[in-house]
A and B are shown apart, each in its own frame.
Chain A
Amino acid sequence: MERSVEELLKEKKIYQVINKKLVQAPPDVSVKSAIEVMQENKSGYLVIAENKKIHGIFTETDVVRKILGGSDVDWNLPVSDFMTRDPLVLKPNDSVEKAINLMGDNRFYHVPLVDDEGQLAGVLSVRTLIRFLAEFYPTEVFNLPPNPGQVMQSPEGG
């Protein structure tokens, strides 16, 4: 029997959907280099960690809310002064459903992943989740017409 989407979301594990990319830096890097690393990697986050131990997460929201526009911010200060400390984490073995609940409820864009020993093991982005959901319906969702009300009356050019 075919399983429902809900059941599939419970079965599917985070490690099965994430991409391997992880952008990280140690807590003592300057705000200036942290932002450069994010820009170079086109990432909206930077996991702040040392020896696989997570100290915090520094995100584009932190950049906009705490850094930009303020002339009094010293860009040479360490990123740890501005990061969000001890962020919530998930495990690679947690279900996609759990990730959807956590990220939807807390409005996170990125959640660091830790293994059973508490060591940094990756990162899950909200876009990975939504892409996963979109791929759930490869045929159905992709075939939605540009305007759902639209019905083709004749073949193209016919």
Chain B
Amino acid sequence: MKIKCPTCSYENIEGTDRCAECLHSLMQRDLPSPKSNDSLQKAMMTAPVSALLTGKDLLVADISDPIEKIIRIFQKKQKNCVLVYKQKKIVGIISNRDLLRKVAGQGQNLSEVTVESVMTKNPEVVTAEDPIAFAINKMGMGGFRHVPVLAEDGTPISIISIHDVLHYLSSGHK
């Protein structure tokens, strides 16, 4: 694990006090702070994920549920995403993308296909206190359009979508 110097981009050993290349301090105890006159940047970097939460869209499936059941609920409730839990721990996530890639046109009997065989395992997660920029980073780097928001004990709070982020940036922060 390396830490990039915010000034010169030199990759330092994590935990070092200063950049070995340009001597810029790497001992900041807080998150990098936004420029004071930039409301959008401020919104992304200081507002927590909790600002995006709607309390809706929190579906949880069991690994042994048939995928047919998930599809039926997605259709009926116009949902796009479900978390998969096993013994109170998150083990996966299923979105329309997984259904298109792994279920559509495979000629399987959908009542026999399990959630476990379709889900994306071990999804990236955030907490409600994380800054929105943190969620944007995970979405951008991993190509995820949904990220579960979990409490410290791992229980689910919500699922945030890329649209929640965009909608917040376009209107919510003002």
Chain A residues near B (Cβ < 8 Å): 2, 4-6, 9, 32, 35-36, 38-39, 42, 44, 60-61, 63-65, 67-69, 75, 97, 100-101, 103-105, 107, 109, 126-127, 129-135, 137-144, 148-149, 151-156, 158
Across the interface, B31 reaches (CB within 8 A) one of A38, A61, A131, A148, namely A148
Q: Which residues of A contact B103 (CB under 8 A)?
A: 68
A32 to chain B, nearest CB (A): 7
Contact A144 B139, CB 8 Å, known A64-B74, A156-B1 = no
Q: In the complex, are the beta carbons of B162 and A44 less than 8 A apart?
A: no
| Contact mask for chain B residues 69-84; partner A; CB cutoff 8 A; 1 contact, 0 none | 0011011001010000
Q: Could you list 11 A-B pairs, sorted by A, with CB under 8 Å?
A: A39-B101, A39-B105, A61-B96, A103-B166, A107-B163, A131-B140, A132-B140, A139-B4, A140-B6, A142-B4, A144-B131
Closest to A101 in B: B170
Residues of chain B contacted by A135 (CB below 8 angstroms): 140
Contact (Cβ within 8 A) B137 A142: yes
* A101-B166, A127-B139, A144-B31 given; 14 more Cβ-contact pairs under 8 Å: A2-B35, A4-B38, A5-B41, A32-B105, A39-B100, A64-B74, A64-B75, A65-B75, A65-B78, A105-B167, A133-B169, A139-B9, A144-B131, A148-B131
Q: Which residue of A lies closest to B76 (CB)?
A: A65
Q: How far is the CA of A104 from the CA of B52 in the complex (A)?
A: 12
Chain A hits for B31, CB < 8 A? 144, 148
Residues of chain A within 8 A of B78, CB atoms compared: 65
Q: Which residue of A lies closest to B140 (CB)?
A: A134
Taking CB atoms, residues of chain A closer than 8 Å to B44 are 5, 133, 137
A39-B104, A61-B80, A64-B96 known; A152-B15 Cβ under 8 A: yes
A103, A130, A141 interface centre (most CB from chain B within 10 Å): A130
State whether the Cβ of B151 lies closer than 8 Å to any Cβ in chain A.
no
Min CB–CB distance A57 → chain B (angstroms): 14
User: In the complex where A64-B75, A155-B15 touch, is A143 in contact with B140 (Cβ < 8 A)?
Assistant: no
Contact of A36 among B105, B129, B131 (CB under 8 A): B105
